[in-house]
Amino acid sequence: MAGVVLTAGYDRSLHALAIGELLKRRGIELSGVIVVSHFSVERIRAVIRQKGLSPLIAYALGRKRLGQAGASLAPLQEFFAAQHIDRTPMRRWARKAGVPVRLVSHINHVDAVRFVRQLKPDRVIYAGGGILRDAFIDAVDGRVLNAHSGPLPEIRGMNACEWTLLLGLCPAVTIHLVDHGIDTGTVLETIPLPLVQDDSIASLRERCIVVGISALVEWASRPLPERLTSRRLTPSSRQCFVLAPALRELLEQRLTQLLKPCVH
């Protein structure tokens, strides 16, 4: 096996750190780590495009960390404690582990694509960094694994946890290959994630991340399908986007009713 390349959305990504550390403990070769810089023109432009100037102003005034969701980190904290993983910035971790690391301004930067091509990994594990474009995906012949926090093909796109609940589906984490569409790649595994008492949207999101971490580590060494197919879109596969405030309020009001056993 030619090893695995891991992406990280930013240097302090707990998600990527957990995957990297667990891969290392399993003896799975990590041939490289790509870290997307927190402070890049592209990232700032994307934030402005999506959220306007307010988050940047708040960040500049020291009120909020850029990109911070503000969600509870309890499930992830518990996972880190149970696995005895020390929190370390990704680049420092990679250097200590002897793993080549590349810092890029955005995931589709020519440096990132070149890095992947040079390493010729068996697969890439995507743990954040933005939407992957054709050049990156093609550089590894489509062997990019992602953990999506919702059932596919029904819930594609953003706020997958929230949309799963709002549309009356059972929460699940889907391990899939990344192709040229948005969450349209081959599904490898769907892992149901029933709601638990006292669940909140934030805790469910965190639990999805934890399940995704474990599943991606498992899939780092499993055989992949030989023929990789992209799912044809159907009307039920309309892409999901960030919830509007009114829809978020609707979801919060409904959540207590949703804390019932559901069947896949």
Partner 1 sequence: MLNVYKKYLAATYEWIMRSIANGRGGSCAYYRPLSGWSEPYPETTGYLVPTVLAAGQTLNRLDAPKVAVELGDWLLSLQQGEGWWPGGLYSRRRTDLAPSVFNTAQILDGMVALYRTTGGSSWLDALERASTWLAAGVDEGGRWTLGNYRNAFNPSYYTQVAWPMLEAWSITKKTEVRNAAERVLELVLTRRRSNGAFNCWGFAPGQPAFTHTIAYTLRGLLESARILGAWERFGQPALLALETIQRRCELAGGRLAAAFDENWRQTSWYSCLTGNAQIALCLLHLERKETDLRLVNTAAKLVDSVCKTQRIDLPASPINGAVAGSNPFWGRYMTLRYPNWAAKYHCDALCTLMYRLRQEGLH
- Closest separation in Å from C-beta 48 to partner 1: 9
Which positions from 43 to 72 touch partner 1 by CB under 8 A, shown as an x/- string? ------xxxx--------------------
Please count the CA atoms within 13 angstroms of the CA of 114 that sit on its side-chain side: 6
Convert 150-189 to b/e letters by CB count within 10 Å (16 or more is b).
bbbbbbbbbbbbbbbbbeeebbbbbbbbbbeeebbbbbbe
**Residue 76 in contact with residue 7, Cβ under 8 Å?**
no
Asked if the bond preceding 153 is cis, omega within 30° of 0, the reply is: yes
Q: Considering beta carbons, is residue 60 or 250 the nearer one to partner 1?
A: 250
Cβ distance to partner 1 smaller for residue 155 or 216? 155
Secondary structure class of 206 (helix, strand, coil): helix
Would you tell me how many other CB atoms lie within 10 Å of the CB of residue 216? 24
Task: Name the minimum Å distance from CB 16 to partner 1.
Answer: 25
Q: Which is nearer to partner 1, 235 or 261 (CB)?
A: 235
Q: Which is nearer to partner 1, 15 or 156 (CB)?
A: 156
Query: Which backbone phi and psi does 81 adopt, to 5 degrees?
Result: -65, -45
Helix (H) or strand (E) holding 7: strand 4-8
Q: C-beta of 229: minimal distance to partner 1 in Å?
A: 24
Q: Which of residues 52 and 192 has its CB atom nearest to partner 1 in the complex?
A: 52
- Strand partners for 157: 240
| Contact letters for partner 1, residues 139-178 (x by CB under 8 A) | ------------------------x--xx-----------
Q: What CA–CA distance (Å, rounded) separates 252 from 217? A: 32
Q: How many helices (H) and strands (E) are present in the chain, helices listed first?
A: 10, 9
Q: How far is the CB of 236 from partner 1 (least distance, A)?
A: 9
Q: How many residues bind partner 1 (CB under 8 A)?
A: 22
> What's the closest the beta carbon of residue 180 comes to partner 1, in angstroms?
16
Instruction: Tell the smallest beta-carbon distance from residue 134 to partner 1 (Å).
Output: 18
Nearer to partner 1, 57 or 228 (CB): 57
C-alpha to C-alpha distance for 2 and 83, rounded to whole angstroms: 26
Query: In angstroms, what CA-CA distances link 184 with 4, 28, 45, 75, 243?
Result: 22, 27, 26, 28, 21
Residue 115 binding partner 1, by CB under 8 A: no
Which positions from 200 through 259 interact with partner 1, judged by CB under 8 A?
A: 235, 238-247, 249-250, 253-254
Nearer to partner 1, 54 or 229 (CB): 54
Shortest Cβ distance from residue 67 to partner 1 (Å)?
A: 14
Site residues (CB under 8 A) for partner 1? Answer: 49-52, 163, 166-167, 235, 238-247, 249-250, 253-254
